[in-house]
Structure 1
Amino acid sequence: MIAIVIPYYKITFFEETLKSLANQTDKRFKVYIGDDASPEDPSKILEKYSKKFDFVYTKFENNLGCISLVKQWERCIKMANKEDWLMILGDDDVLGENVVKLFYKNLPEIKKENITVIRFSTCKINDLGNLISDVYQHPKIENAVDFFFRKTRSSLSEYVFNKKKINAIGFKDYPLGWFSDVLAVLEFSNFGNVYSIKTALIYIRISEISISGRSDNMKIKLKAVFSFYYYLLSSKYNKFTDEQRKILLNKINKCYLNDKKNMLMFIKISKIYFSNYLFTFYSEFLKSIFFNLKTNFSKNR
């Protein structure tokens, strides 16, 4: 059976999320809703859907999401019981009506292929529920590393993870949970294959109140992005080809160039270059810093 975990905080689009669960053509799922001490009481909405599908609701006494979104995910995940598979669904995202049905339809092949991460097709919607992107689809079976380097998008709600992998490895606690989901796909699949169900769609909401849609948290996101790339380069270096490593190095270099006053970033990046004997690339990194400084100086004259 599949557990659908909802870390709840905002009520604005919550009923749309619940409605999409009630509309599932296959009801073989259980929902676990963890209320992060939200000031917006969802009890009336939950009462409306109390007989539409099986769910458990817990209101936590302390707001954990303001400190660590990942820790809020973790305590919500602990609510799940004996289910083998688990989805973490945003409280503003929406499932297509055949998501659960096609999960079970494909499950025999998923097990046969020894897959531990499943991905659905997605489409972005705005606060009105209107489509604002094309449908993002993926190869049926794709290596997680290839997927990561392919130009596409990713959101936590579109995945179903094997619960044993979640419990054994856990989510990395990056600020805002930014890139924590991307790393989970890599690690929970053992940097192996991901199975995509193309004909089931999950609608990812982008709004002014969503983390993805907001622009006032860019510094926090930058910190998370740097931590993510640093982890890959310092702890998972052997998982990538030389060309992929170059791409990762360029990504982490850009993090520093966007925050040149952060000496800790500079020290950590330098450590990566020196520990892997990448002296030529390190020289290019230093040149990029000086070039960037020179360009900014010329603009400000």
Structure 2
Amino acid sequence: MLAIIIPYFKLTFFEATLRSLEVQTDKRFKVYIVNDASPEDPTGLLEKYKGKFDFVYHRFEDNLGGISLVQQWERCIAITGDEEWIMILGDDDVLGETVVASWYENYEIFNEKSNVVRFASKVITEETGAVSHTYMHPVWEAATDSFYRKLEYLTRSSLSEYVFSKASYLKYGFYNYPSGWYSDDKAWIDFAGNKPIFSINESVVSIRNSFLNISSRKDNLEVKNKAEMVFYRFMILNKLNFYKKEQRLKLIRKYEDSIKKSKNLTIREWLLLTYFYLKFFDLYSFKKFIKRLVKNLLRYE
């Protein structure tokens, strides 16, 4: 069976999420609603949905999501039962009515061939009411290729539209980046292992973008920049061999830029970058890098 975990904190759009679960055409799922010490009590609303679908409600008295989103996800997963597949659904996101049905319809296709399954997605911009086009994906795609498409702004990706095997989660876990930035990106690369991501494009998960989202906040750029730097360091140290030469150079440059946004480059970091620019040598890219290096050195004379 499929476990759908909702780390609950905000009531504002929560009923839309619950309603999307109520109207699922296939009810073979169990929902775990986990209250992260929210000041907004959802129990009155949950009474309305008793018997509409299978769910359990648990409240933690200490807020963990404000300290570490990843640790909050982990304790949510810890209270699930024997379900072998997990979706972590935002408390403001919405499932299309056939999401669960299409997951089961495709089960025999992806089972044992993939550890990560994703649905097509749309973005709802709450302030304007605009709904994006549907983001669809190759049916089978390497996780590293999927991330690179996101890097190139050819697609989007977030937590809610993915289903992953509990076995892969237990093997790798989520990496605890600051505020959870890039934790899901790394998870899909890790969880996939040597198997491709399987995409179900006939059903859609709608992701809500509002003033309540962490991604919409402007006061956490320092935290985001730090997470970006650590993530791209992981990518260049561990995943460059999965990419073509020009893609490798772009990832190296992303790491360089992320350090500059987070802090000044140290000699150690310049040496590391020099090593990678030489290893994947391109004359134009290397000349531009040397100019940046010289400019940096002159600044400290």
TM-score, normalisation: structure 2: 0.89
- Report how many residues are paired: 291
State the 1:253 CA deviation: 1.5
Instruction: Tell me what 1:52 maps to.
Output: 52
Question: Distance in 2 between the 1:160 and 1:268 partners?
Answer: 39
The letter for the 1-side match of 2:289 is F
Task: Confirm or deny: 8 A CA contact 1:207 1:214 kept in the other structure.
Answer: no
State the 1:270 CA deviation: 2.9
Task: Confirm or deny: 8 A CA contact 1:68 1:176 kept in the other structure.
Answer: yes
For 1:136-147, list aligned pairs within 5 A: 136-147=135-146
Instruction: Tell me what 2:159 maps to.
Output: 156
Instruction: Tell me what 1:233 maps to.
Output: 236
Residue 89 of structure 2 corresponds to residue 89 of structure 1: yes
Question: Distance in 1 between the 2:170 and 2:164 partners?
Answer: 10
Residue 214 of structure 2 corresponds to residue 214 of structure 1: no
State the 1:128 CA deviation: 6.7
Task: Confirm or deny: 8 A CA contact 1:123 1:131 kept in the other structure.
Answer: no
State the 1:274 CA deviation: 5.5
Match of 2:291 among 282, 287, 294: 287
Instruction: Tell me what 1:61 maps to.
Output: 61
TM-score, normalisation: structure 1: 0.89
Task: Confirm or deny: 8 A CA contact 1:257 1:292 kept in the other structure.
Answer: no
Instruction: Tell me what 2:205 maps to.
Output: 202
The letter for the 2-side match of 1:125 is I
Residue 11 of structure 2 corresponds to residue 4 of structure 1: no
State the 1:267 CA deviation: 5.4
Instruction: Tell me what 1:132 maps to.
Output: 131
Question: Distance in 2 between the 1:162 and 1:236 partners?
Answer: 22
Q: Evaluate the alpha carbon distance shift between residue 289 and residue 20 of structure 1 in structure 2; reply closer, same or farther with a 3 A threshold.
A: farther
Question: Distance in 1 between the 2:122 and 2:159 partners?
Answer: 13
Task: Confirm or deny: 8 A CA contact 2:249 2:277 kept in the other structure.
Answer: no
For 1:29-40, list aligned pairs within 5 A: 29-40=29-40
For 1:90-129, list aligned pairs within 5 A: 90-111=90-111, 114-127=113-126
Task: Confirm or deny: 8 A CA contact 2:127 2:210 kept in the other structure.
Answer: no
Question: Distance in 2 between the 1:267 and 1:252 partners?
Answer: 15
Task: Confirm or deny: 8 A CA contact 2:252 2:276 kept in the other structure.
Answer: no
Question: Distance in 1 between the 2:225 and 2:276 partners?
Answer: 24
Q: Evaluate the alpha carbon distance shift between residue 216 and residue 25 of structure 1 in structure 2; reply closer, same or farther with a 3 A threshold.
A: same
Question: Distance in 2 between the 1:104 and 1:275 partners?
Answer: 48
Instruction: Tell me what 1:244 maps to.
Output: 247
- Identical aligned residues as a percent: 47
Of 268-277 and 246-255, the range deviating more from structure 2 = 268-277
State the 1:158 CA deviation: 0.5
Question: Distance in 1 between the 2:258 and 2:266 partners?
Answer: 10
Question: Distance in 1 between the 2:257 and 2:277 partners?
Answer: 20
Task: Confirm or deny: 8 A CA contact 1:234 1:272 kept in the other structure.
Answer: no
State the 1:103 CA deviation: 0.2
The letter for the 2-side match of 1:137 is M
Q: Evaluate the alpha carbon distance shift between residue 157 and residue 292 of structure 1 in structure 2; reply closer, same or farther with a 3 A threshold.
A: farther
Q: Evaluate the alpha carbon distance shift between residue 273 and residue 283 of structure 1 in structure 2; reply closer, same or farther with a 3 A threshold.
A: farther
Task: Confirm or deny: 8 A CA contact 1:119 1:197 kept in the other structure.
Answer: yes
The letter for the 1-side match of 2:209 is I
